């Protein structure tokens, strides 16, 4: 049997009513013949869009094939016991040329009950932001369901939502249940649970090419929303060069930012998990036992659990999001 190695997958492109062209102009990914590209799915086990290997001897196999064949060698022992043949994370790039709908995602319990699916906790890393770009995360004041419905039914929902101006390098952690939207002018890397369940709350009365408004999920959203008010929503972390800085940690994933101007190595010996690298700046050579892989901005690499150490050789430096499950 072919031994495992770090994988790059074929990008899955998705046009969206709010999509733009930064996927190509900034990340260098050609989405033709689509008219725009709102999202790319870079590593996906979602049954309707399973990623296909794009490099090495296993090119052409998809992620479901790999899991069926390699099991814990790919995921790690604990992860395979927990998730079986379902890959637990979904990695995307999102280009918002217009505001996305205001939305919310269900937690595991609700998603399992309604959809036989994982819930959707996620995190965003802002790769690029037009001046003045904003996003919405959570509420700007204490809210309960009654107050939420009052504002929703009167067309004043945005009055109680927390809007933040953002810039490149900002991180937002969004547990399932948090009302949110990505605003116009943002290019974002997203790491999330494997789920494609979204309850659309408000879509700014937009219509598609056929003049139809997109479906809203007003009733479904009520039980999913976390109505709590929090003091802050943007993740606080110290920008440090040439160190790994943890920016998100939960039961579903841990993510570090590695902003390096020099070559380094990573030791995963104590980690019983696969590791994902999302390259958001620069370039490096990923060296591992048995080979090497050139990694450029926009690449997302899945390192199997059996690869316990890697070297990252660089001349110009790089910034990556490094994710795994503790």
Q: Does pLDDT of 209 surpass 80?
A: no
- Confidence (pTM): 0.96
Q: Region 28-47: what's the mean pLDDT?
A: 97
Res 15 pLDDT > 90 = yes
How many other CB atoms sit within 10 Å of the CB of residue 46? 18
The set of catalytic residues is 200
Q: What is the pLDDT of residues 110-164, one digit of tens each?
A: 999 999 999 999 999 999 999 999 999 999 999 999 999 999 999 999 999 999 9
Angle at 235 between CA 234 and CA 238, to 5 degrees: 130
Longest CA pairwise span in the chain (Å):
62
Q: What is the distance between the alpha carbons of residues 135 and 185, in angstroms, rounded to a whole number? A: 10
* pLDDT beyond 80 at 208: no
Percent with pLDDT over 70 in the chain? 100
In Å, how far are 131, 146, 165, 206 from 66, measured between CA atoms?
42, 48, 41, 40
Q: What is the pLDDT of residues 67-101, one digit of tens each?
A: 999 999 999 999 999 999 999 999 999 999 999 99
Digit-coded pLDDT (tens) for 293-325:
999 999 999 999 999 999 999 999 999 999 999
- At 207, is the pLDDT very low, low, confident or very high (cuts 50, 70, 90)? confident
Q: How far is CA 24 from CA 19, 42, 140, 241, 301, in A?
A: 12, 14, 35, 28, 19
- Determine what percent of the chain is predicted with pLDDT higher than 90: 95
| For residues 46-68, average pLDDT | 97
pLDDT tens digit sequence for 102-124: 999 999 999 999 999 999 999 99
At 149 the pLDDT is: 97
pLDDT for res 211? 82
DSSP state of 160: G
SS3 254: strand
**Beta carbons of 268 and 304 less than 8 angstroms apart:** no
């Amino acid at each position: 049997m072919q031994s495992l190695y770090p994988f790059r997958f074929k990008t899955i492109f998705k046009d969206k009513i709010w999509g733009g062209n930064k996927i190509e102009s900034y990340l260098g990914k050609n989405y033709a013949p689509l008219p725009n590209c709102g999202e790319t799915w870079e590593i996906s086990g979602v049954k309707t869009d399973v990623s296909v290997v794009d490099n090495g001897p296993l090119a052409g196999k998809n992620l479901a094939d790999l899991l069926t064949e390699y099991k814990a060698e790919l995921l790690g022992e604990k992860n395979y016991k927990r998730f079986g043949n379902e890959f637990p994370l979904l990695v995307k790039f999102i280009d918002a040329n217009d505001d996305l709908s205001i939305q919310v995602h269900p937690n595991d319990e609700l998603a399992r009950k309604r959809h036989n699916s994982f819930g959707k906790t996620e995190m965003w890393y802002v790769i690029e932001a037009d001046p003045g770009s904003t996003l919405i995360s959570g509420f700007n004041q204490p809210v309960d369901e009654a107050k939420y419905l009052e504002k929703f039914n009167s067309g004043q929902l945005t009055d109680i939502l927390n809007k933040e101006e953002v810039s490149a390098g900002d991180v937002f952690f969004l547990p399932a249940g948090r009302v949110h939207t990505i605003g116009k002018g943002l290019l974002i890397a997203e790491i999330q649970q494997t789920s494609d369940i979204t309850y659309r709350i408000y879509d700014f009365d937009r219509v598609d090419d056929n003049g139809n408004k997109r479906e809203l999920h007003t009733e479904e959203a009520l039980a999913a929303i976390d109505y709590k008010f929090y003091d802050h929503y943007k993740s606080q972390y110290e920008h440090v060069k040439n160190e790994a800085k943890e920016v998100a940690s939960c039961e579903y994933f841990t993510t570090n930012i590695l902003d390096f101007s020099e070559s380094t190595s990573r030791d995963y010996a104590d980690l019983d998990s696969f590791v994902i690298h999302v390259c958001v700046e620069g370039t490096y050579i990923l060296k591992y036992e048995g080979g090497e892989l050139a990694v450029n901005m926009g690449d997302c690499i899945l390192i199997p659990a059996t690869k316990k150490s890697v070297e990252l050789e660089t001349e110009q430096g790089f910034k990556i999001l490094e994710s795994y499950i503790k």
